Structure 1
Amino acid sequence: MTSIHYLPAGTAGADGYDVAITPESAGWGYSGLHVVTLAAAEEHGFATGEDEVLVVPLSGAVSVEADGSHLDLAGRADVFAGPTDFSYLPPGTTATLVSERGGRFALCSARTDRRLPVRHGAAADVPVELRGAGGSSRQVRNFGTPEALDAGAIIACEVITPGGNWSSYPAHKHDEASETESALEEIYYFEIAAGPQGQPGLGFMRTSSSPGHPIEVTEEVHDGDVVLVPHGWHGPAVAAPGHPMYYLNVMAGPPAAGDGKRAWLITDHPDQTWVRASWADQAVDPRLTGETR
């Protein structure tokens, strides 16, 4: 059932977008996400306005014209095929997307006053991390994290969870600004692999109340669904057996105290922190590839 935090596929679109999440529509201040589907040779123009934007191919290739720059993104067949190249667009930019063969493209956004140059991010440069072990193994593609990308406010990554595994686990939060935690709004956009005869896939997503921040979300998620996490303990995200799960995370928040640099600092749920220590005695799921950390 649609709620202010759970937006099933087909309910979050507007103005020609499959997904259209803005800070205003989400009721918060910084994070946004649009997903657009383009037919072969179709063009799509947009303005970044107050936001910086990462153009991320979900399927297909695309050319990006922005501020006199021309960037060709090779993209990928689908989100399960591996990391993709992407482009960074600063606030105040007018851009046009053109996809010769068509595809689907995510526009990850964050409100910021910082203006950096238009640029291309190569797929080969995306840090790919294997996180967890055993049934908690997942692959994280850190294309838009602070260590990988210079940006104003946006933090973005992709996560692949093999069928039957748990990710976003231990449950964690980032809803308070401190030396050990960031205050970040977060968007989860899901794609779920179909079964062998095209059967629709499914998974589950949980968000629960943290101190001073009431929220209760437990949803069966499907291909194209969106979950908004303004605060609270979020996780696990669970992939049903036989249905690998992808999610795109987009995060942003107010400038950090002190040096003002963006950071992705989390606090584990105290009842689940012990899980991390259990990974030392378990192998990483062999269905995944990347660097173990």
Structure 2
Amino acid sequence: MSKLLVKPSGETGKVISVTPESAGWTYVGFDVHKLAAGQSVAAQTGKREICLVFVSGKGKVSAGGVDLGELGGRTSPFDGAPYAVYVPGNGDWQVEATTPLELAVCSAPAVSEGKAVRVITPDEMGQETRGKGTNVRHVTNILPETDPTADSLLVVEVITPGGHTSSYPPHKHDADNLPHESLLEETYYHRLNPAQGYGFQRVYTDDRSLDETMLIEDGVTTLVPKGYHPCAAIHGYDLYYLNVMAGPKRIWKFHNQKEHEWLLGA
């Protein structure tokens, strides 16, 4: 199995765990918790900032000593935009599931002090459609670079219809070379509809010193430490992914692979 592919460890509890140490990088952390109604999860943020994303289901949330009430509500990640909660460094959070709950915990280094807890509602999230033809995909910006809430985190959801490509034409963001390109680590948390479907993701560099092609099944996470990272959803199965990015600067500036850049004008 590819070292860039993280499969769920079970059906309940913390089913995905990616830390900077386990990934062999510096910035991005990512967990997924699957809870039954009445179960809860809590943590201190320490030197990291957190974005909680309600992938599906509902839960009662408190953060920074404040009761935020019951949040969430969509029945699946293919059912509209999510609720999310930003929790700054040196804080705490707790979520108690009120229905079966799938909760993603996105993290990156906290830099500044004085940030506030913030609930991000579906109505506040910008949505857009990118691409043409079989490269069309639908994007929900949960915590984009234009939102000053976070220090490091960039969080986005994408739905790619069956038979379409995504993160394509191939692009990369692995060089700290602004204004041309930013250095951002990235995770992809994949879900499929219907769940028995599959897709593919390739992660590779120009010199092919890294070149991995992975089978994407429901519930897996892929790591993108560097290189290009396109996805493909097979016919009949829509592909959802939740992206978490972070690096030394909170800017998403990517470089398209020259061989395939002509597709942008096709």
TM-score between the two structures when normalised by the length of structure 1:
0.86
Higher mean C-alpha displacement, 129-138 vs 43-52: 43-52
Q: What corresponds to 1:242 in structure 2?
A: 236
Q: What corresponds to 1:233 in structure 2?
A: 228
Contact 2:6/2:16 (<8 A) preserved: no
Deviations 1:192-222 (A, max 9, x none): 112xxx6x110000111135x8311101110
- Displacement of 1:118 in angstroms is 0.6
- Displacement of 1:8 in angstroms is 2.6
Superposition pairs for residues 163-242 of structure 1, below 5 Å? 163-178=162-177, 179-194=179-194, 200-210=196-206, 214-235=209-230, 237-242=231-236
Higher mean C-alpha displacement, 66-75 vs 138-147: 66-75
Give the Cα separation in 2 of the matches to 1:134 and 1:185: 29
Give the Cα separation in 2 of the matches to 1:108 and 1:102: 20
Deviations 1:160-219 (A, max 9, x none): 00011000101000000121111000001100112xxx6x110000111135x8311101
Give RMSD over aligned pairs.
Answer: 1.7
Q: What corresponds to 2:262 in structure 1?
A: 274
Give the Cα separation in 1 of the matches to 2:13 and 2:79: 26
Superposition pairs for residues 88-237 of structure 1, below 5 Å? 88-115=86-113, 116-178=115-177, 179-194=179-194, 200-210=196-206, 214-235=209-230, 237=231
Contact 2:81/2:122 (<8 A) preserved: yes
- Displacement of 1:150 in angstroms is 2.2
Selected match of 1:63 from 60, 63, 67: 60
Q: What corresponds to 1:288 in structure 2?
A: none
Q: What corresponds to 2:77 in structure 1?
A: 79
Superposition pairs for residues 35-54 of structure 1, below 5 Å? 35-54=32-51
- Displacement of 1:43 in angstroms is 1.5
Q: Tell me the SS of whatever aligns to 1:276.
A: helix
Contact 1:142/1:148 (<8 A) preserved: no
Q: Tell me the SS of whatever aligns to 1:234.
A: coil
Alignment coverage as a number of residue pairs: 263
Give the Cα separation in 2 of the matches to 1:170 and 1:117: 37
Q: For residue 252 of structure 2, what is the amino acid of its counterpart? A: W
- Displacement of 1:229 in angstroms is 0.6
Contact 2:43/2:93 (<8 A) preserved: yes
Give the Cα separation in 1 of the matches to 2:73 and 2:253: 30
- Displacement of 1:44 in angstroms is 1.1
Contact 1:143/1:149 (<8 A) preserved: no
Deviations 1:141-161 (A, max 9, x none): 111111135210011101100
Give the Cα separation in 1 of the matches to 2:235 and 2:9: 25
Percent of aligned pairs with the same residue?
Answer: 36
Q: What corresponds to 2:23 in structure 1?
A: 26
Give the Cα separation in 2 of the matches to 1:102 and 1:161: 25
Contact 2:56/2:72 (<8 A) preserved: no
Unpaired runs of 5+ residues, structure 1, are 257-261, 279-293
